[in-house]
Structure 1
Amino acid sequence: MPVSAYGQPTRNKEEDNCLARAVNERRQTEIIMTRTSYSGPLCSLLPGLLLLACGSVAAAPANSRTGDILGCLLTPAAEAEIGSPVVGILEQVLVDRGDSVRKGQVIARLMNDVERAAASAATQRSENRAEVAAAKAAYEFAQRKAERAEELLLQNFISPQARDQAVSEAEVAAMRYAQAQEQRMVAREDLSVAHAQLRQRSITAPFAGVVVERYLQPGARVEDKPVLKLVQLDPLHAEIVLPATRFASLRVGQNAQLSPEMQGASPIQARISRVDAVIDAASNTFRVRLVLPNPGNRIPSGLRCQVVFEEGPR
């Protein structure tokens, strides 16, 4: 085996490729173990056996090229356990496992009798114009009375004290009119709060996807527990571990041919959406994320796949 200038063994490109494949297999195995809660001895031994096999390629000629076939695993673009921002009793669950939902679609509701009553009362207060109209009429009358008092004072028909009283009454009426307007503005703000509290009793989908788990039934108390689990299958993601020797040949936006291991599936063009900027020193590898369009959710998540990167500019 060749050695570096520091006396340390070096790996050729074929060894790097083999190591990357082993890391890929280990990552895929970890994902499967996480999703299926399986921790059998075969799953734990497989990555180690693949790493040991890499030692047998030390004498083989290097053959690192962009067209190498690499293994991958398809995963959802997004995954979330959906809960409620408020505590309450679950009244309805409007979707079930396997249902497709739109972004913003109501998927569950909590009991909301109190919130609906509060919103109705706030609506009535915000639409009540009688108090403002009465205060406005009183202000306009007091203003006219004060103006007449000024004219009468000039003609010596009333005393200065009577004029001052009329002016003071106009000022008080003006303040009451302003207060009525402010109270109506507060009522409108209360209405916005009441509607926001009512909306919180409806649980909506944060993104378009498919329901994969339903945890609670109507009547259950919703607190810290999620109600549903939602995944986004369009697009799908595939993360691949590559040897550091490939770093210069890949870029964001570069295309790749991805073949799902599914009967009748044809190769599909995927695109690199992310390339790690840091090389893992222990394995001399880095990760690349591919985005795969999946209209109609035709390809399920969790499938193994194979990828061939198209030649990109250097």
Structure 2
Amino acid sequence: MKIYQTIPALLLAFGLFSCGEKATEGQAVSDTKSAFILKKQAVSNTLQLPVELLPYESAEIHPKVEGYVQRVLVDIGDQVKKGQLLVQLEAPEVNARAAQAGAGFQEVAARYESSRDRYQRIKIAAQEQGAVAESELISAKNQFLADSSAWLAAKANSQASGQYQSYLGIRAPFDGIVTKRKVDVGDYVQAGNPEGILTVENPDKIRVRIHIPEAYVSSLPGGDSLNFSTDALVNQTFSAKLSRKSGAIDRTTRTELWEYEFDNRSGAIKSGMYATANLNLGRAESTFKVPNSAVTTTLEGKFVIRIRNGQTEWVDVREGIQMKDGKEIFGELQEGDTLLTRSSDEIKAGTLLPVKLNN
């Protein structure tokens, strides 16, 4: 008898346990959750980003010919003008080839002038009937054409050799300042070396580059100026003008490059300084803003929990501008929707859930 009395008791206890488990997982939760009415509002935030300060022009200068450094006429910090001689190289074989090409051109030019004069004389004489044989006229003409072609080839060779010889003098590509020097007199340099011998920069105008995160590309104001500051110049703020945008999102960093220009003729800014910019984020129209706790992140994405007809719904969202007291969201939501203040993936969709609205 004791056995038969014990089994019904166990079955009854198991049944009560099962009913309690279904109430927790299933379709009804007795705890009241905090909720709020979704509405649109103005969103804004200040985003601080690092910026790059680059010279408007920068050239690492490489020799075009090989040779020994004969003279170095500049050093770091020197101001230079476009076309100014910076380094003079010495290469006797280059000078010899140029001299040989020049002499060859002079020789060919003399033959060309001689055959040209002869052809012109014979051509004039041939105007009188029987004065000059036709074969002689043709021969003079052919010789003139041959010498003319040789003259053109020798001229081109002489000019090329002279141009090559001019590469022994290394000149400034633009107005600027020498920021690096890597050679001394007597050094051997050659074309194709990956390391340049000088670096010249133009610091009169600074490129201010900033990488805008993808999420904020469309939320920045439409103005064309950017205020930035540097660690080296305390309590000073500088303004740069927008000059160009890359027009594409970098696949690695998920950012768009924006470039501003700063007039640096005063020399206040040095290229390479560490600088930051404060960007005021905002939308032209009001959007949805929710508490940070209202959005849950899972491996599948982000969602909020909406209460409709007393039941929960998961609504996928994308985040926008981040603020201290909340965040901007986008999704299939309507103004006036009821959302949980604190969502969780433990609250399943379709759960009957009592809520209390916050003011």
Task: Report what 2:140 is aligned to.
Answer: 173
Task: Report what 1:234 is aligned to.
Answer: 204
Choose the corresponding residue for 2:53, options 74, 79, 86.
Answer: 74
| Corresponding letter in the other structure for 1:134 | S
What TM-score results when the alignment is normalised by the length of structure 2? 0.55
**Alignment deviations for residues 99-134 of structure 1 (CA, whole Å, 9 cap, x no partner):** 122333322121144444544554455567643443
Task: Report what 1:259 is aligned to.
Answer: 229
* Cα distance in 1, alignment partners of residues 246 and 162 from structure 2: 44
| Structure 2 unmatched runs, 5+ | 1-41, 285-359
The answer on 1:131 being equivalent to 2:98 is no
Choose the corresponding residue for 1:64, options 44, 49, 52.
Answer: 44
* Cα distance in 1, alignment partners of residues 248 and 234 from structure 2: 37
* Cα distance in 2, alignment partners of residues 134 and 244 from structure 1: 74
* Cα distance in 1, alignment partners of residues 238 and 102 from structure 2: 54
Give the CA deviation at 1:96.
0.7
Give the CA deviation at 1:247.
1.0
Contact 1:90–1:221 (8 Å) recurs in 2: yes
Question: Equivalences for 1:138-217 in 2 at 5 Å?
Answer: 138-143=118-123, 146-148=126-128, 150=130, 166-217=133-184
* Cα distance in 1, alignment partners of residues 223 and 166 from structure 2: 40
Task: Report what 1:246 is aligned to.
Answer: 216
Give the CA deviation at 1:239.
2.9
Alignment partner of 2:272: what SS?
A: coil
| Structure 1 unmatched runs, 5+ | 1-61, 152-162
| Corresponding letter in the other structure for 1:150 | G
Give the CA deviation at 1:272.
2.5
| Corresponding letter in the other structure for 2:54 | T
Using a 3 Å threshold, how does the CA distance of structure 1 residues 201 and 253 change in structure 2: closer, same or farther? farther
Structure with larger Rg: 2
| Corresponding letter in the other structure for 1:94 | L
Using a 3 Å threshold, how does the CA distance of structure 1 residues 169 and 99 change in structure 2: closer, same or farther? same
Alignment partner of 1:150: what SS?
A: coil
Contact 2:220–2:280 (8 Å) recurs in 1: no
| Corresponding letter in the other structure for 1:230 | V
Contact 2:66–2:91 (8 Å) recurs in 1: no
Contact 1:132–1:180 (8 Å) recurs in 2: yes
Choose the corresponding residue for 2:68, options 67, 78, 89.
Answer: 89
Using a 3 Å threshold, how does the CA distance of structure 1 residues 191 and 282 change in structure 2: closer, same or farther? closer
* Cα distance in 2, alignment partners of residues 137 and 174 from structure 1: 11
Give the CA deviation at 1:283.
7.1
What TM-score results when the alignment is normalised by the length of structure 1? 0.61
Alignment partner of 1:98: what SS?
A: coil
More strand by share: 2
| Corresponding letter in the other structure for 2:118 | A
* Cα distance in 2, alignment partners of residues 218 and 118 from structure 1: 24
Contact 1:258–1:307 (8 Å) recurs in 2: yes
**Alignment deviations for residues 195-233 of structure 1 (CA, whole Å, 9 cap, x no partner):** 211122222233433222211111111121421233332
> What's the RMSD between the two structures over aligned residues?
3.6
Task: Report what 2:13 is aligned to.
Answer: none
Alignment partner of 1:103: what SS?
A: coil
Alignment partner of 1:136: what SS?
A: helix
The answer on 1:291 being equivalent to 2:258 is no
Give the CA deviation at 1:266.
4.2
* Cα distance in 2, alignment partners of residues 231 and 101 from structure 1: 10
Contact 1:276–1:287 (8 Å) recurs in 2: yes
Choose the corresponding residue for 2:79, options 100, 104, 107.
Answer: 100
